[in-house]
Structure formats: structure tokens, C-alpha cells
Structure 1
């Protein structure tokens, strides 16, 4: 009768099925009890569904003629009550047959020795569920060499083959799960997360594995690691939410927590108005379960959860829906399940004394109650099948051709059986391969879910990817708060812009400050700025280097237009003077100027103007050669000719004071020899320069290396340093200074004695020009426009020097030749004796100037002239023989 009273014990805590080979089973049929009671409420899914999955698998194996033929599997199934210590006590049942009993001191009432009931010998155990329970049980089973296969324990420490060498599992360890969760976090672009774990092996080990893997791989930092106490105080979950908000940038929360803790955390977030702030990443304890998110849909929206890849077993659904009180008496907890599932009471011994209705026994699972297959059913069946396949292979090797169990399998060696377990390879109940690695772990295969609220405001778990050694994630299928498809951020610091380097906060590698790569530095790597090569500058984004633009002085530049204009005018004027002198070659003024020396001087003036064009032209080897040759040559021609002239005047008048014979080397031929001798020194210096350092071009990147790299330019120029320039012009300047000295010495020569005074004025003005040139030229060494200023200054100074010589020495003559030809007539020749007389008078004038007032000088000079010269009113001086 299905409604018959239950046994005397309120509920038994074990199931026993007879068989040739006995398997143990550990299931959390009841929850943890309170206030000293070992067991609490019945767990319908985690307990009864999983337990029935083991019974169903054994039924299938026993009916399978190909698997363990003629061998029947039996079972001894125990309730762990979700408590590790209680499970340890229960698991002693499995080892009773292996413990020797000493009955020598025990006697029955009639004096006979006792007869002990032979306990079942369990060869392998299926379970447990919780990692903490499996760890506790594994410690005792390994002592008796009993292999154990878990269907739900995922703690990483169970992979330690030195401590849990008889433990295997058909679910992947949390280290795989932690790796999968880290891959999800990385794919989302999150690098700053918090972790939340339920106290115990599962939660703490899972978080520890996640933290360790994230530390090894880098790129993800842990803002906070919080733990939910096993027995939380009132308000504990609100405190946890507030602590998570202390690091508000770490929006992503990695959760390894049980269902109750997940539900209470979500409720606390809702109470604290943090709906939509946290980005939950849940482990397989959350998975795709409905219970943690009931009435918490909005706060759980967007949660990404992970669950070992599984499939619903249709055959089990049909089996379980067919279970009733009459056909399932082997399950001692099924009556309790019946009451809980249908909310009714079974007779006077029922567990629900306050239930309003009485069970009829005709209720049907799935019809009169909701039913959904529990997620670990597949793994329970796979664990049982793994044990069966190992026993089958063992039987085939040890009992080949022997029907049933042979003597060699009468006492199965657990160590030998473990070897066969680790070697199994078959397709499980869901069609996926079941294998174990050297640590007894199953391969990692996970489905990735996201909890989404669709347009109809209904919430559901949607598969968005999977993980099998690597992550496959469909980002387009993801949906966040209010349907936003963009992934929210959970970072300590925002990514740096292009051209910025990360300056990491000490101790927190995911937090940094962004520093711009300034000046000529570019972003060489994520954390480093490096200096560009000297001839390069950073690009606009400072992410690389590019060649610095090369410039030269252009003809259209304002710095070139003025010098060229002056030069062109000067060349035209010089050409005009030369043409005029050639045309009026035999006129008295041209002959008196010293035709040969005039042409030398005019050539120098022309070169001074012409050097402007090579100085502005685009530098190349030919242009650089012209610059070296003609830069100082024009001045050298000019001042060598002027020096020769002033020296001749000075020697003539000095000689006139001493004797009546003329000095040597005052003829035109001698003057030319002296002039070209002086010029040859300049040319020899240039040739030595050519030999020592052949002309070539360089690009000067330092001249216009501005603070702002955008304005930096390389200047294409001839390789002529400031020192080389000084050396090139130095000789000409020496000639100029010497000429000025002679000009000073001959300043007292009367105006009628040719060009002494115009030469003097020319040299004084030229010295002023070059004294102004020096500070302008060398004072611009640090200017960004140094090349322009120096080139313009040098060319203008040369042109001005030439213009002074041209204007003071030749323009008056050209003016007389063209506009007053009546003055360009021959005059009486003067003998050297007349010159001597003038020189003597000039000397006397100089002496009197220093002794008398100005008024008296003229009188005495006139008196002197009257006594020493013939009485004549007009004297005509000839320019023919003694042209100065």
C-alpha cells in the first residue's frame, strides 16, 4: 500500500541495493540542520534528482548486456546533509568491511562467540557534491584505497594528486572555471574587478584560483576580495555592498558563492539602490538557476554566468516522471519528497503535520507539480558509468571468458581499479567524451550565459558563448541594462590616448596616470616614451617618428629679396662704371685714377655684389665651392688694390720729405704685381681649405630645433663653420684694417693729390659697416632664423662695403666724365720736385698745427709759401706722370 506507515525511524539515512559489486553514493538529500540538528529540509533537486540519477544509471548498466555482462551493480547511498563532519561519519559505512573486528572479549548470553553481520564491501564511491564534503571524505577513503568519483565538487585543491590520489571527478575543477571567467573578464575589456566568495572550500578556493591565474597572466587587478561568513550577522550583506562601493570603478564582481548568498547579495544591492551598477560574473553555483534571481530580475540583469556544458537527459525525465510511491520504495527519502513536492501529508507519520491536504498517492510528477531536471543529473550518470566502464575493463582483463565475477575480482584492489578509472574514455550520457587527466580532472567545457530582460519584460538566461580551453563569446548577443548593447567599463584608469604613456600606480598595475610624450619624444611602448633620432621628430600623435622637413633659403624669401635687390643694383652700377671707364679709357680722369688698379678694384666690387647669388642659391657641391672661393675673394681684390694705392701715396710723400728721388715700385706694373701677390695669399688659403676639407653640403638639425617639434626644420647648408668663415674673411679684414691705417697716415695730403681722402672716407665707413656686422652675425647663434639672418647680414654687409667703395671712389669721376666733360681736360704735369715741395709744406703745416692757434697757422703757411715758391697765382698739377 503506498500509504502504509513509514518505518519506525522517522526517516532512514541510507539506501541499499543488492549486487555483485557494491558502489557507494554520497548525496546532499537534506540541507544543513540548525541548533545541533544534523539535517534540515529536504533538497528536492540537488538531493532527490541526483540520487535517482545514480539509481537510474545502475538500472541501465545492469540491463546492458554489453557492459559488465553477468555482473550486477549494487549500491549503498548515504545522505551527507550538506555537512562535511556528518558526511565523514556516514562514510565510515563504506570502510566497515575493511576494518578487522576483534571479538575475542565479546560473548553472547549463552557464552558463544558473537556472529557479526558481514558489512557490504564498497569498491568505489560516487560523490560527494560539495567540495568541502568531498575533501573530508577523500581523506578517509584514500586510507583504505577506495576510488572516489565526484559529480559536482570543483575545488582546485582536489587536483592535488599527492593528497587526493584516489579522487577523480567528471566535472572540471574551478581552476578551469576561474580561467574561463578570467577570459570573459578580459574579453569584456575589464581590468579592475572585485571578488566575492562564500566561506568554505568551494568559494574560497575558486576565488583563490581566479586571483592566482589573474596575477600570473597579468592585465587584471583585484580591487577587493570579500568573504561571506558561513553564518552572517544581520546587515552583513549591506556592509558587503557598501565595501564594494568603496572601489566604485571596479564594477565587475566575480562571485563564487552558494545560491542563498547570491540571492541575499542581490537583495542587498537592490536595497542600496545599486541596480545596474554592479556587473556580476557568477560561477557554476549560479549557472542558469532561477532561485537566486527570483524577484531580483532588475538587479541581476546583465549578469554573466558559467556552467559546465551539459544536456538534459530525456530518458531520465521519463524515468523520474514515472516514479511513484508504489514503484520507488527503494528510495527511503521518496515519501518525504512526495510530501514536499505535492504539498500534502502522508498518513499519521508524515513530515508535514500542518499540511492542509492529504496525499492520495495518485499524484504525478510533472503533472501535479512543476518539474525541471536538475543540472548535475548528467554528471551523476557519467560518474556511475565511468566506474562501470573501469570495472568492465578490469573484468575483461582479469576474468577473461569467465561468466560473472572470477576469484581474482573477489577482492578488488582499489589501486588497480583507480588505474582503470583514469584510463576510461567513452561518450557520456549527453554524448560528450568522458576522460580524466593525470590528476583525475575532467576537461573543461563550459556554457556561458547572460541573464537578460527581453522586450516583453521577461527575464531569461541566454547562451552567449562557450569555453573549451579557450573562449568563444558572441559579443553581439550580449545585452546590458536598459537594452544597451555597449559593454560597460570596469577599469581603474581609462586607456591613455595616442602619444601618452602609462605611469603605473605603485602596487596596482591596472591603475595608472597618463603622461604625454612631450617634445621630441614618441610613445615607444605602452609604458615608455623615447627620444626620436636627431634627424627626426614625432608625428602628430607622438606615436612614431618622421623625418624633419629640410629647408633652404628660397629666392622669394624676404631675407633673400633685399640682398638680391641691393646686389642687382650694385652689379648694374658697377657694370656701368666699368663700361664708362672702358669707353673713356684715355681721358685724363680715368688715366689719373690708375686704370689698371681701378679695374682690379672694380672687379673686387663686382665680386662683392655677385657673391650674394651663390650665398642664396640651393647648396650643392658646386655652389659650396663657389662660396668658398668668392666669399673672401671680392673683398681681397678690393682691399688689396686700395691698400696698394694708399701705401703708394704714403711712400711717395714720406720719400719726398727725405729726398728728391722717387721711391721704388710706384709704377702701374709694380702696383699690379703687389696687388696680385696680396690676392694670391687668399687664393692659396682657399686651395689649402679645399684640400683639407673638400666642399660638401650638410643638414643642420640643431639650428631650427624649436621647442615645438612641429616647427622644427633641418637647414640644408654648405659645410662652412663660423670659424671657417672668420678664416676666409679674416685675411680680407686684415687688408682692410691695414688700408685704414694707411688712410689715416695720408689724411693730410692735399685734396689736389688724387684719392687719398676718398679712400680714407671709404675705409672709415667700411670699418663701421663691419663693426656692425660682427654682433649681428654672431649674436644670432641661438635664433631659430639664424641661417636667414646671417646670410642676409653677410651679403648686405658685402654689398654695402662695395657700394661705399663704388660711391666714394668712382661715382664722382663718372659724374664729371658724363655731366662735366669740360673738367676732364689735360693739365700741366707735375714733377717729383713739386711733389717734394708739397710734402715739405705739408710736414711744416702739421708741426705748426700742433704749436699755434688756427688763425696763425694760415698766416705762417702763406708766408712760408711766399718765400719758398715762385710768385704765381695759379698752379696746374699734372695727373699724367704721378697719378696717385
Structure 2
């Protein structure tokens, strides 16, 4: 199980429960939700998109005098660009808005193809330009490039290579691969890196793909390479275990604080866990036990002494909430759009019409207009459904115990004027152990 993705799902529920308890946002309106697992598979994502588009049976609650909508009015997700593209093509004709927290392909900004798509994470077009400026800033003019053979990797790398060419950067090789490729293909890409004269490697990859390449490189390591990372993997805890990436630098989504969230995800009673197939799988996998009665295989029964506080995995790690906040903001964006559709302020009192049957196209129209802040983080969308691009520059540095940590050494703010967008405030630790900021690697 990808427990980081489980944390994203729990962030969605946390935000919805906050909104349902709010007296300012959708007062008297209860938001419902359904969470489905695409298993990072395009065919599964397509099947789920059809389920969302078809909807469920609509019910009218006579006691509460309100409609329980049977139709999905908006979708949060997907995490990957390729499944998001597939979903968007299906739900677009139904005017169902989709707000993604992690699909960054620049192609999704095309409103002629994806008219109902929005995202709280910046488009890769901004990141590609920023990465090219970063490489140029350090004087690297001879680099290698690897990418995921997917919409995310291919589009992101194409944007980067165009930007790099404008900056006068030469590329020794540009290799693509995917996690389901034969091992021989992964070895081939690894050999290209080992034989190359370029010390700097720009990787526009999904973490699930990159880990296969790093495992191969670890088996037969070459001289240290300076890894430049895209936001998908540069703060991924599963990739962080590969020491050969020490000194890596790349752009990441802004680190955030969500008050009460850690307490929420750590508050799991046996009853809560048992009520959810997903949480049950997580619990049993994490503690190597079975909830309920002992099975025929003789597996240990969970006895109640299991302690989440003792777990060290991406679910419990809330030290650097980044994409999690993108999920949180996506839910709030939809809630604000719904609020504008059914609520009005009359004599300083917010009144919402609970009997209105909200159509997805109404939410779609209002999403284009959302403009609010939550926990100090602003949320709005431009004409392409994109937010303002702001990144932290992350460096993988070893602490005094030799453990790799993510250290924020600078920022990139696309809202600032040319020449002020890119700042470095702290020394960077390089792949070869040097620490001088601004140092050139040939």
C-alpha cells in the first residue's frame, strides 16, 4: 500500500468534516463523499470515471427537507497526470469539474481538451522553466536527462529541454523508461548514465518509476552524480532511502501547516479501522496482525496494543505537508464553489437553500471565480485552471547522524518580476560533499 496516498485520502475526509462543522462555509449543508482507488492504473481510473459520471440513486429526505444528490458534483484527483487525462476526457462532456492535487502535466492547461479541469498544484510548464534557470544558475552546460515514459515525464521533459536550449544548455542523452519495462530496459538506461561524461542528471520522473532505476544504479554504482529532481520525487519518502541521490536538488511544493490534521489521522480506534476496508488493510499491513478472529493461517490477532505513534511510514509523517495541503485546498475550492451556488448573505446572515439540486455545471462555473485563503494559503485559478506557481528549492543534506533530510535552501515565485523569481538563501550540499552555494560543477 502507498501510505502517502492514504494520507492524501484522509486529508480529503478531514477537510470535508471541517466544512461540515463550519458555520461560515455551507452552513446547514452536509457534504458527502466517495473515495475510490484507481490503483495507479489507467483502465481502473477510466472505469471509476464512468461510475462517477453515471451517479447513484437520488434520494429525498423528507425529515430534513433536503435532497441527497445522486450525482457527483465534483471530483478531487487524480494523483497522476496520465490517469487524470483519461478521467478528464470522460467526465468533461458531463460538465463535471475535476480538481487535481498532483497532476502537473502542462497539457492539462489546454481548456479546449480539458474544459472542466482545475488543479491546486502548479503546471509543469512553470517547473520546467524554473529547472532550466536553476541549471543555468550553477553554470552547468553539459547534462544528462531521464524521464518517465508517461504523459507526466514526456511532456515535462519536452518543456524542460525547450527551456534548457534557450539557456544554452547541452544535453548528452535523454532516456525514457517506465516501471513496467523489462529489467533489460532499466539496465540499459542505467548503463547510459554510468558511461556518460555528464555529471548532472535531470530526472523528470514519477517516484514509482525512478526507484527501479535507482535500484539498478545502486547494484553497480558509478562516480557520484548530481541529481536534479522534479517535484514528483524530490520529496518522496520512498525515494529518499537511496543514498546515491545525496546532494540532490529540485523544486517542491511549499511546505504547509494544517492545524489539527496530525491529531486527526493519528486518532484511529479499532472501531474506525474496522469500518474501513482501506484502514483495515493499512492497520493489518503495518502491524502484521489480523483484526477480529484468528484466521486459518494462524496470523496474529491485533490485540489493541498497536501504537500508531511507533510507526515510521509516510502516513504518520506529517513533518513536511506539501501535496497533502494541495488535497486540502482542492476540497475547500469545491466547497467555496458550492457555497456560491446555494448560499447567500442576507442581513449579515448566511442562508443556504438545501432543497436546490446543484448541477455540476454550476460548480464548474463558480470554481472559475473562487478566491480565498485558508490557513494563510491563497487559492484561486487562472483562465487555464492553474494556480500561481510557487516552489521551494529542496536539497538532500545529511544531518549529524548521517541521515538524509530535505532542507529548503531557496524559493521560486513566478508571480515576481523577471530576475526576482529565483532566490537561494542557504548553502547547498552537493553530490561530492561540497557545500559552497553557487559552485559550478562541470
Partner residue, 2:140:
190
Q: How far 1:325 sits from its partner (Å)?
A: 2.7
Residue by residue over 1:444-479, the C-alpha shift from the partner in whole angstroms, topping out at 9 and shown as x without a partner, is 111111112345433222211111112111363444
Which residue number corresponds to residue 716 of structure 1?
A: none
Number of the residue aligned with 2:151: 201
TM-score, structure 2 length as denominator? 0.87
Q: Give 1:43's aligned residue.
A: 2
Match of 1:464, SS state, is strand
Aligned partner (choices 414, 423, 429) of residue 472 of structure 1:
423
Is contact 1:325–1:334 with CA below 8 Å preserved after alignment?
Answer: no
Q: Partner residue of 2:285? A: 340
| Among candidates 284, 287, 293, match of residue 234 of structure 2 | 287
Q: Residue in 1 aligned with 2:62?
A: none
1:304 aligned onto 2:249: yes
Judge conservation of contact 1:344–1:358 (CA < 8 Å) in 2. yes
Is residue 81–residue 151 contact of structure 2 (8 Å, CA) maintained in 1?
Answer: yes
Secondary structure at the counterpart of residue 174 of structure 2: strand
**1:746-757 pair list within 5 angstroms:** none
Instruction: Pick from 313, 317, 333 the counterpart of residue 386 of structure 1.
Output: 333
1:451 to 1:355, Cα distance in 2 relative to 1, 3 A: farther
Name the counterpart of 2:360.
414
User: Is structure 2 residue 90 aligned with structure 1 residue 140?
Assistant: yes
Residue 238 of structure 1 corresponds to 187
Which residue of structure 1 aligns with residue 213 of structure 2?
A: 265
Match of 1:451 among 386, 392, 396: 396
- 2:201 touches 2:227 (CA, 8 Å); kept in 1? yes
Q: Distance in 1 between matches of 2:150 and 2:294?
A: 36
Q: Residue deviations 1:234-265, cap 9 Å, x none?
A: 243332132235541x2211112222332333
Q: Cα gap change, 1:397/1:456 in structure 2, threshold over 3 Å: closer, same or farther?
A: closer
Q: Secondary structure at the match of 1:433?
A: strand
Which residue, out of 3, 11, 34, partners 1:53?
11
Match of 1:423 among 369, 374, 380: 369
- Counterpart CA distance in 1 for 2:326 and 2:189 is 34
Taking the aligned partners of 1:136 and 1:65, their CA distance within structure 2 comes to 37
1:357 aligned residue (292, 300, 304): 300
1:648-695 deviation line (CA, Å, top 9, x unaligned) = xxxxxxxxxxxxxxxxxxxxxxxxxxxxxxxxxxxxxxxxxxxxxxxx
Q: Aligned pair in 2 of structure 1 residues 97, 245: CA closer, same or farther (>3 Å)? A: closer
**How many residues in Structure 1 have an aligned counterpart in Structure 2?**
422
Distance in 1 (alpha carbons) for counterparts of 2:434 and 2:403: 13
| Within-5 A mapping of 1:677-688 | none
Counterpart Cα distance in 1 of 2:190 and 2:127 = 24
The Cα of 1:369 is off from its aligned counterpart by 5.7
Residue number among 324, 335, 338 corresponding to 1:377 in the alignment:
324
**Cα offset, 1:357, TM superposition:** 2.4
TM-score, with normalisation over the residues of structure 1?
0.45
Structure 2 contact 395–428 (Cα < 8 Å) conserved: no
Q: Which residue of 2 aligns with 1:228?
A: 177
- Note closer, same or farther for the CA distance 1:293–1:328 as it changes in structure 2 (3 Å cut): closer
1:395 maps to 342
Distance across 1 between alignment mates of 2:294 and 2:337? 43
Which one has a larger percent helix, Structure 1 or Structure 2? 1
- Paired with 1:96 and 1:289, the residues of 2 have a C-alpha distance of 35
> 1:255 aligns to what SS in structure 2?
strand
Is the contact made by 2:29 and 2:352 (CA closer than 8 Å) also made in structure 1?
A: yes
The answer on whether the counterparts of 1:302 and 1:451 sit within 8 Å (CA) in structure 2 is: yes
1:138: Cα distance to partner?
0.4
**Cα deviation, residue 388, structure 1:** 0.5
8 Å CA contact 1:238–1:272 kept in 2: the answer is: no
Structure number with larger C-alpha Rg:
1
Deviation at 1:198, TM superposition (A): 1.3
Report the Cα distance in structure 2 between the residues aligned to 1:364 and 1:121, rounded to whole angstroms. Answer: 39
TM superposition shift of 1:403 = 4.7
CA distance in 1, matches of 2:304, 2:215: 38
**Structure 1 vs Structure 2 CA RMSD:** 2.8
Counterpart contact for 1:154–1:173, Cα < 8 Å: yes
